[in-house]
Structure 1
Amino acid sequence: MNCVRLIFVLSCLWLSSFASDPDDPLVVELPQGKLRGRDNGFYYSYESIPYAESPTGELRFEAPEPYKQKWLETFDASQTPVVCLQWDQFIQGENKLAGEEDCLTVSVYKPKNSSRDSYPVVAHIHGGAFMFGAASQNGHENVMREGKFILVKISYRLGPLGFASTGDTDLPGNYGLKDQRLALQWIKQNIASFGGEPENILVVGHSAGGASVHLQMLREDFGQLAKAAISFSGNALDPWVVQQEQGARGRAFELGRIVGCGLAADSETLKKCLKTKPAGEIVTAVRNFLIFSYVPFAPFGPVVEPSDAPEAFLTQDPREVIKSGKFGQVPWAVTYVTEDGGYNAALLLEDWNKSGKTVLEELNDRWFDWAPYLLFYRDSNKSIQEMDYYSRKIRQEYVGDQRFTTENYWELQQLFTDILFKNSTQDSLDLHRKYGKSPAYAFVYDNPADRGIAQVLTKRRDIHFGTVHGDDYFLIFENVVRDPELRLDESTISKNFINMLADFALSDNGILKYGECVFEDNVGSEKFNLLLINKEGCDNKQYVQFP
């Protein structure tokens, strides 16, 4: 008995000294109390740290509330962050529901590098069309191995839980964007406790994460939260990003009807009812908004809120915000890859209803019905006749009178690239070069992965997809949709990208460099300055129109 008591007392003393040891790098003290991370060999991790109260119950469909709880015991920060509740495109089978509603956390990754006492910080906003994805699905081994900066991954609400909106003050929407903003505030306030430099924070994201970065930057006080920003293959002007008001409102009320709220009389009634429904039922309702496969890939997303909405995030169209000059004037880079639209077009190579023919073949008879959903002009103010005219015009421009086949798949893929990514990247850069005061940079990446997102979605290797969505970004933050083993040229590019992020976070004059190439600023430039990056290296070019 005495032996057992002695072991218990010694254990308590060990835990007490362990939690209060100032020399233990795994223990970090925050205003909430102490947390303990994990040693991963060449880096430390502190995961699943809450930055907001649980967005459940009465806090569902509300702006996030800062985390207020105090930890009486050392918080266990060794748990992988949970996936926010979502209808995940990349889950096989009929049931694509994944994740948990209580998910608002940040995860911090700190390299072991004896040459530095503190580190610049890269805040990461994951992609996934505002509908799916997770902080944990973007790896950090490549980044940590280089040991150049602290990485912080942000989890935020997705799909209808993050973006359902009736366009009024009762259900204004943009809860996922408000989560991101609160997380950025948390990083600014707390990252020094981990050895991060709060004055050297770079915010990056890919796809919907890139668009999110741009939207965060459109807040006038963004410069108080970050020093610079990079939007990879996604920006606020992409046609799939900001939802049209009437379309978003209609989907919100239809969401209520699907989950059993009936035909709610008003937004307040709808929100009260939605708060009583199981979160899984709300998210599962996403399947009712898809016309086939995962099309349209962003049925719920950011909206322009009424100016009197509580804690409104975005109250003007992004174009008008940029024209006003009232946005975060920090150095910004925006990017695309040469076949970004391969992510979207690849879905057309799936089997159509187990019929033995592809969706692409079926598209020949359904182009006028499906094109507005595929290319995100279904909710525009155009009449049916105007939409049909536009559908006919763009089809004629890219494939002429040909039928859609695998032989002209490349032309269709280019249509998706131009309309969903490239054209709006040029438009964004054009506005920033005219109305911005801080440097605005751009690059295009052309170096196909051996296996990327298009091959994963189609399970086909007989089609040349080119450089598709994520082929660049996943060289920095690993993802299961591409080969984990990098080619020699990709390893070099990966290191160049990681150094580019670290140097951008540290630069006092907003200079951006990739390898031996220094980006050229677009602000005030008559032509577009675009850095071309491929397996041979990099080259600065000027264009009247993006290539």
Structure 2
Amino acid sequence: MFLFKWLICLVLLLAKLKYTEAGAELDPLIVEIPNGKLRGRDNGNYFSYESVPYAEPPIGELRFEAPQPYSQEWRDVFDATQPAVDCLQWKQFRNEKLQGEEDCLTVSIYRPKNKTRSSYPVVVLLHGGCFMFGGAASYGQEYIMREGKMLLVKISYRLGPLGFTSTGDKNLPGNYGLKDQRLALRWIKQNIASFGGMPENIVLIGHSAGGASTHLQLLHEDFSQLARAAISVSGNALDPWVVQQGGRRRAFELGRIVGCGQLADSVELKKCLKSKPAREIVSAVRSFLVFSYVPFTPFGPVVEPADAPDAFLTQDPRDVIKSGKFSQVPWVVTYTTEDGGYNAALLLKKNKTTGETWIETLNDRWFDWAPYLLFYRDSKKTIKDMDVFSRDLRQKYLGDRRFSVESYWDLQRMFTDILFKNSVPEAIDLHRKRGQSPVYSFVYDNPAVSGLGQVLSNRTDVFFGTVHGDDVFLMFDDVSLRTAIRPDEEVISRKFIKMIEDFALSDKGTLSFGECSFQNNLNSKEYQVLRITRNGCRNEQYNQFL
């Protein structure tokens, strides 16, 4: 009798296990990829699979090296329910500046619940943050998941000195963060079908440094094998803060700051930097700032030597485009009417030591600070050249007036033009002459109630206009900036997301925003841009390129 009961229990147990295994196979939270199975999280109207590694941890001997594909196999089900950690960084917007972890190379995937479809076009996001800070969590997924028609992937990549230190030679060439992005794109192409994504319908979108990164990724001829279209929002490879000179000097100065001594050999420098705690290396960022968070990109992309292993960029982006050897995929490049508010607004804050605003101090420090604020310190051959350029800029935008709250808008216009706006027609002009795929542009002109201008200046008595991020945060929500959006922004948000979805699915690379169709700049004699405002949209044509 005992044996009979025991056999019944065993049969029931085996049946339960078999049922559980069958259920697991049908469980949408369980996804299987070559590394094994992983479990996501149910968020109500969408599933998420976060912190999925695409590369080996870039620590120890893999620090300052090109990323290696993730090769581990999971015996147990991998827990993909934990939000991605930020890569180790010196943050701009927090009192506690040092944030994140060195082991951070992951992707996070978000799939809507939609009973009418089993697969989705894919939008891949490269976050902004001046190549220095930021992360996946800064750009939300709620707006895109609310629409329920696209799968979203966010990429985490190395930042600051850990991502971009370069001695300008093959021993420490730099651009590790860009190489991370590229490896992640390959991972997405190979694995996204397992999550319900369409591997042939991928759009890459980036904001600010992410927008510049998107453009740099597109400048690889084989990018078309990884995505079918790209969107660079308020940032492209021709902006003066993107590809910089002077990397070698900064690399050896970094070594001196963290205790490597006065080295002159890049092999020894790399060896020493690998031996130092990552937090010490990243904390050294503060020594490269002349005041506040200026320059906002002390470590960023560089041109690598041709003999560098796994080189990402061996020519100036302008020369790459002129050669015609870049990916022929549809590209959108954008700016906001007052993009420079991101950089100029911090000058309205008060110096805690003197009580004077930074913009007032600028009157006495213009020649010292302007080359750092506007990124021409390393592009001018002499101090005299820098001073002449600085004097001409001030005269062009302010005339004989002093820097003050009253002249702030002219300073902001200077920042917008030099750091964001002027590069757009230049980039389009090069692409239209050398490319074969559509080139589109839009300018966003609709100020948010609260944006980066108010956050950086800590002021509400100044009207900043449409600043950096006012458009992208209608695509990827940021609750730290906006607790709610206006009814007109709700409409614009849905149109933006529909625009991205259609772009991912379009066979011909056509593009529209609501009722407005973008004008293609390819082979055009005029610079054509779609202006998006609170009341609608309209195409604008300019007589010539800048």
Q: How far apart in 2 are the matches of 1:476 and 1:233?
A: 14
Correspondences of 1:471-482 after superposition (within 5 Å): 471-482=470-481
Give the structure 1 partner of residue 224 of structure 2.
Answer: 223
Q: How far apart in 1 are the matches of 2:312 and 2:533?
A: 37
Q: How far apart in 1 are the matches of 2:259 and 2:112?
A: 49
2:79 to 76, 81, 92: 76
Moved more, 455-464 or 80-89: 455-464
Correspondences of 1:206-221 after superposition (within 5 Å): 206-221=207-222
Correspondences of 1:370-409 after superposition (within 5 Å): 370-409=369-408
Correspondences of 1:5-16 after superposition (within 5 Å): none
Q: How far apart in 2 are the matches of 1:251 and 1:456?
A: 30
> With structure 2 as the length reference, what TM-score do the two structures score?
0.96
- Tell me if structure 2 keeps the 8 A contact 1:452–1:481: no
Give the structure 2 partner of residue 112 of structure 1.
Answer: 113
Give the structure 2 partner of residue 346 of structure 1.
Answer: 345
Q: How far apart in 2 are the matches of 1:264 and 1:186?
A: 38
Q: Which runs of 5+ in 2 are unaligned?
A: none
Correspondences of 1:88-487 after superposition (within 5 Å): 88-92=91-95, 95-244=96-245, 247-487=246-486
1:352 deviates by 1.8
Q: How far apart in 1 are the matches of 2:377 and 2:288?
A: 13
Q: How far apart in 1 are the matches of 2:338 and 2:123?
A: 27
> With structure 1 as the length reference, what TM-score do the two structures score?
0.96
The letter for the 2-side match of 1:104 is L
Q: How far apart in 2 are the matches of 1:302 and 1:125?
A: 15
The letter for the 2-side match of 1:158 is L
Q: How far apart in 2 are the matches of 1:473 and 1:546?
A: 26
Query: 1:194-248 CA deviation, whole Å, 9 max, x = no partner?
Result: 110000000001000000000000011000000000000000000000011xx11
Give the structure 2 partner of residue 52 of structure 1.
Answer: 55
Structure 1 residues 10 and 170, CA gap change in structure 2 (3 angstroms): farther
Structure 1 residues 15 and 417, CA gap change in structure 2 (3 angstroms): farther
Q: How far apart in 2 are the matches of 1:500 and 1:34?
A: 34
- Tell me if structure 2 keeps the 8 A contact 1:449–1:482: no
Give the match's secondary structure for 2:455. Answer: helix
Structure 1 residues 488 and 70, CA gap change in structure 2 (3 angstroms): same
The letter for the 2-side match of 1:459 is N
Q: How far apart in 1 are the matches of 2:113 and 2:320?
A: 41
Give the match's secondary structure for 1:204. Answer: strand
Query: 1:446-467 CA deviation, whole Å, 9 max, x = no partner?
Result: 0000000110111111111000
The letter for the 1-side match of 2:103 is D
1:353 deviates by 3.9
Give the structure 1 partner of residue 46 of structure 2.
Answer: 43
The letter for the 2-side match of 1:430 is D
Structure 1 residues 526 and 33, CA gap change in structure 2 (3 angstroms): same
Structure 1 residues 386 and 15, CA gap change in structure 2 (3 angstroms): farther
1:482 deviates by 2.4
- Tell me if structure 1 keeps the 8 A contact 2:429–2:545: no
The letter for the 2-side match of 1:41 is G
Query: 1:317-337 CA deviation, whole Å, 9 max, x = no partner?
Result: 000000111001100000000
Q: How far apart in 1 are the matches of 2:151 and 2:321?
A: 30
1:380 deviates by 1.2
1:22 deviates by 2.6
Identity %: 68
- Tell me if structure 2 keeps the 8 A contact 1:453–1:468: yes
Query: 1:298-335 CA deviation, whole Å, 9 max, x = no partner?
Result: 00000000111000000000000001110011000000
Structure 1 residues 105 and 10, CA gap change in structure 2 (3 angstroms): farther
The letter for the 1-side match of 2:87 is C
Give the structure 2 partner of residue 532 of structure 1.
Answer: 531
Structure 1 residues 185 and 231, CA gap change in structure 2 (3 angstroms): same
1:63 to 47, 56, 66: 66
RMSD over equivalenced CA pairs, Å: 1.8
Give the match's secondary structure for 1:63. Answer: coil
Query: 1:230-273 CA deviation, whole Å, 9 max, x = no partner?
Result: 000000000000011xx110000000000010011300000000
1:42 deviates by 0.3
1:274 deviates by 0.3
Structure 1 residues 473 and 166, CA gap change in structure 2 (3 angstroms): same
The letter for the 1-side match of 2:81 is S
Give the match's secondary structure for 1:280. Answer: helix
Structure 1 residues 193 and 258, CA gap change in structure 2 (3 angstroms): same
Residue 33, structure 1, aligned to residue 36, structure 2: yes
The letter for the 1-side match of 2:506 is S
1:383 deviates by 1.1
Query: 1:484-515 CA deviation, whole Å, 9 max, x = no partner?
Result: 31100000000000000000000000001100
Structure 1 residues 528 and 12, CA gap change in structure 2 (3 angstroms): farther
Structure 1 residues 15 and 448, CA gap change in structure 2 (3 angstroms): farther
The letter for the 1-side match of 2:27 is D
Q: Give the number of aligned pairs.
A: 539
1:545 deviates by 5.5
Give the match's secondary structure for 1:22. Answer: helix
Give the match's secondary structure for 2:346. Answer: helix
The letter for the 1-side match of 2:120 is Y
- Tell me if structure 2 keeps the 8 A contact 1:478–1:484: no
The letter for the 2-side match of 1:105 is T
Give the match's secondary structure for 1:167. Answer: coil
- Tell me if structure 1 keeps the 8 A contact 2:526–2:545: no
The letter for the 1-side match of 2:502 is D
Structure 1 residues 20 and 546, CA gap change in structure 2 (3 angstroms): farther
Q: How far apart in 2 are the matches of 1:106 and 1:53?
A: 13
- Tell me if structure 1 keeps the 8 A contact 2:252–2:264: no
The letter for the 1-side match of 2:195 is F
- Tell me if structure 2 keeps the 8 A contact 1:456–1:481: no
The letter for the 1-side match of 2:192 is I
Correspondences of 1:491-506 after superposition (within 5 Å): 491-506=490-505
Structure 1 residues 20 and 272, CA gap change in structure 2 (3 angstroms): farther
1:443 deviates by 0.3
Q: How far apart in 1 are the matches of 2:60 and 2:23?
A: 36
Structure 1 residues 18 and 280, CA gap change in structure 2 (3 angstroms): farther
Give the match's secondary structure for 1:441. Answer: strand
Give the match's secondary structure for 2:470. Answer: coil
- Tell me if structure 2 keeps the 8 A contact 1:52–1:105: yes
1:19 deviates by 8.0
Task: Write out the 4+ residue segments of structure 1 that deviate beyond 4 Å after TM superposition.
Answer: 9-16
1:13 deviates by 5.7
Q: How far apart in 2 are the matches of 1:471 and 1:165?
A: 33
Structure 1 residues 468 and 384, CA gap change in structure 2 (3 angstroms): same
Q: How far apart in 1 are the matches of 2:15 and 2:57?
A: 31
